[in-house]
Every structure is written in C-alpha cells, then in structure tokens.
Amino acid sequence: MESPPACISFEDPSLWPRGFYDVVFCRNVLMYFVPDAARRIVARIAASLAPGGHLFLGHAETLRGVSHDFHLRHTHRTFYYQRKDALEEAQIPPARISAPFASATPTPLPPSAGSLDWTTTWIDTVQNASDRIRALAAAPKPDASKSAEKSERERARKANLAPALDLLREERFADALASIDAESDDLAQDGDALLLRAVLLTHRGEIERAERSCARLLDLDDANAGAHYVLALCRENAGDARKAVDHDQIAAYLDPTFAMPRLHLGLLARRSGDRATAQRELDRAIVLLEREEASRLLLFGGGFEREGLMALCRGELRKLGGAR
C-alpha cells in the first residue's frame, strides 16, 4: 500500500485514509489548539488508525476530555494510547475540516484553559493572532435550548448525589452508600455516582465491590483519574503495591493537578525505602494541596481537610530529613 504524499495540505482527506496507520505521533501539538479543534483532530486521527493502532502524544498532553476512542496504555514508564477496536464509521465527515481547524496554523488556548503566564507568552509570540480570533468568533454558537437542558440535567444529577455527599462529610458511610444504591437505576450510567460509590465502599473495606465500581466507571470513561486513584487504594489494601503505584501514576498523568495520587505515591515510596521518590512526590503533593478543590478533598481526603493533609506530608518529609 502506498503512503500518502508527503507534501499536501493538512486538511486534505487523502492524508487521513481510514484504517491506514498503525502508529501516529502527534507530540506537543494538541496543546496549541482550543478544545473543539483538538477533539476534531483526534477524531480524524482515530479514524485513520487501524483497529488497535497507537497514538503517541507529548509528555504533558492527554486525551482527557478530548476523546473516548482510545484506551490509555502505560508500559516502560511511558503513557500512550491504543485505538479501540470499534469506532463509529460515520463519526468523521470525508469533507474538509471546518473552521477553526481548516488552517494548519495552531489556535492558542484561551487563558482559562491553561497556565496564564504560558498563554500570555504564546500570544505575545504569535503575529497573526487576530485572524484566528476572527475564525473563532465566526464558529457556530451553541444551541441555547440544548445548553439549558444540559444545565438542568446537571443540576438534577447533583441534587441526587447531594444527600450522599452530606453523609460522607459526616463519615456515615453505610448511610451514604444506601442513598447511592437507592438511586441505582437512575445513576448506573453516572460517572460521579459510580466514583462516589467506589469511595464509600473503600471506606467500608469492601475492596472487591469498590474495584468493580471503578471498573464500571472506567468502561464509561477510562481517562477518569479519580477511578484510578481509588483503584490504587484498593490495590494497596490488597497488598499489591506495584499495581497501586501504577494506578497512582496513571491518575497523576491524567490529571496533573490532582494532589492525592502524588501524596499516595510519596507514602508508598517511603514505605518501600525509596527516599528520593518519596521526597519528590510529597513535595509535589504539598504544592498541589494548596490549591486543590474543596469538593475533591471531601471525596478523596479520607476525612482529612486541606491543612491536615499538608501536615501529613510535612510530617513524612521530616522523617525523610526534608522538612518544608
């Protein structure tokens, strides 16, 4: 089979024959596109990969929130993605990619999407930013009625989970679990409900049920960092430290702002005698805990508040001779 021509326009469909590639390297590219454009890029790559084909991104890039067409893989201390065997054949139109993806010139991320300093520096170096801004402004606006309907569903979903979260705050784990299970028919496909259920089961020491809940969640969203963190706790409880480390590393990769897998990695490393790793991960955990979301602390903090978790890290660092 002949390879596609090397010198063709990026949006030319002949560059993306269906099922053609075994491996695609797209390193340090997606970070320069707004989310909608990144999703279109990855969808086109997915369609052009053979079933089981591999996608390699940059070290700091993930498909979290971008695509569900890939499984995350982690081997040889490297994260990469493998295309799922079954993709919807009609998911990518054969015609040209619409704006703002019609240009091969990257579109900078908005300030809310990443580091403000990094974004500001990027914008300062781009000479034709105004052209891309106009392209974004010309993009179709979302349907207001659909947005309102989605917001209403989100409010209803949060209302269903609110009683269980209140009970978790009071450490009434059995009652919180009963509240979730009472809504099982409505929440069986709800990722947040499955994650909360897994956390509650872990608190109760029902490790196998917690892992099954995490597995169900990862079937829905295998880029869910919280599920991997709970699995790390479950594997530690089962005496499988190696798998616990694997799940913590996946969680930290999927969400670099997530403090708890860093803290857990630090504790596991200290217990195994790996002082350098323990100090590095605990230092990272302290930095991340300073700005961790309160809702995530409630869910994953094990009953500790922010200052308590930071004090735990500092205490462990003192044992290592690296007090902050």
Query: How buried is residue 19: exposed, middle or buried, by Cβ count under 10 Å (0-12/13-18/19+)?
Result: middle
User: Mean per-residue pLDDT for 62-72?
Assistant: 82
Per-residue model confidence (pLDDT) at position 270 = 93
Per-residue model confidence (pLDDT) at position 67 = 83
* Angle in degrees, 0-180, between the axes of helices 259-272 and 241-254, rounded to the nearest 10: 150
Per-residue model confidence (pLDDT) at position 318 = 92
Whether 5 is in a domain gets the answer no
pLDDT band at 250 (very low <50, low <70, confident <90, very high): very high
Per-residue model confidence (pLDDT) at position 16 = 81
Q: Does 217 share its domain with 277?
A: no
Cβ 30 vs Cβ 42: under 8 Å: yes
Q: Does 277 share its domain with 322?
A: yes
Classify the C-alpha dihedral 20-22-26-30 as positive or negative.
Answer: positive
Structure tokens at 205: 């020491």
Whether 233 is in a domain gets the answer yes
Classify the C-alpha dihedral 302-305-306-307 as positive or negative.
Answer: negative
pLDDT band at 205 (very low <50, low <70, confident <90, very high): very high
All residues at 6 or more sequence positions from 138 whose CB lies less than 8 Å from its CB, including other chains: 99
Please state, in angstroms and rounded to a whole number, the distance separating the CA atoms of residues 222 and 215. 9
Q: Does 19 share its domain with 121?
A: yes
Which DSSP category does 146 fall into? H
E strand or H helix at 191: helix 191-203
Q: Does 238 share its domain with 264?
A: no
Q: Does 18 share its domain with 116?
A: yes
- Range(s) of the domain holding residue 195: 149-243
Burial annotation 43-71 (CB, 10 A radius, 16+ → b, else e):
bbbbbbbeeebbbebeeebbbeebbebbe
Query: How buried is residue 134: exposed, middle or buried, by Cβ count under 10 Å (0-12/13-18/19+)?
Result: exposed
Whether 289 is in a domain gets the answer yes
Per-residue model confidence (pLDDT) at position 153 = 52
Per-residue model confidence (pLDDT) at position 26 = 85
Whether 82 is in a domain gets the answer yes
Tens digits of per-residue pLDDT, 275-312? 999 999 999 999 999 999 998 999 999 889 999 999 99
Whether 224 is in a domain gets the answer yes
Q: Which residue has the higher pLDDT, 256 or 183?
A: 256
Q: Does 231 share its domain with 301?
A: no
User: Mean per-residue pLDDT for 216-243?
Assistant: 92
Per-residue model confidence (pLDDT) at position 84 = 84
All residues at 6 or more sequence positions from 181 whose CB lies less than 8 Å from its CB, including other chains: 197
Per-residue model confidence (pLDDT) at position 276 = 94
Number of domains in the chain: 3
Share of the chain above pLDDT 70, in %: 71
Q: Does 233 share its domain with 263?
A: no
All residues at 6 or more sequence positions from 14 whose CB lies less than 8 Å from its CB, including other chains: 4, 5, 8
Per-residue model confidence (pLDDT) at position 183 = 59
pLDDT band at 194 (very low <50, low <70, confident <90, very high): very high
Taking 60 as the threshold, does the pLDDT of residue 150 lie above it? Answer: no
Q: Which residue has the higher pLDDT, 147 or 95?
A: 147
Tens digits of per-residue pLDDT, 18-66? 888 888 888 888 877 888 888 888 888 888 888 888 888 877 788 877 8
**Helices and strands counted in the chain (H then E):** 14, 4
Whether 235 is in a domain gets the answer yes
End-to-end, the C-alpha distance of the chain in Å comes to 60
Please state, in angstroms and rounded to a whole number, the distance separating the CA atoms of residues 231 and 93. 38
Per-residue model confidence (pLDDT) at position 135 = 44
Q: Does 238 share its domain with 295?
A: no
Name 78's bridge partners: 75
Tens digits of per-residue pLDDT, 91-141? 444 333 333 333 333 334 333 333 333 333 333 333 333 343 334 344 455
User: Mean per-residue pLDDT for 226-234?
Assistant: 95
Tens digits of per-residue pLDDT, 213-224? 999 999 888 889
Q: Does 62 share its domain with 154?
A: no
Look up the CATH number of the domain holding residue 168. Answer: 1.25.40.10
Structure tokens at 270: 């200290």
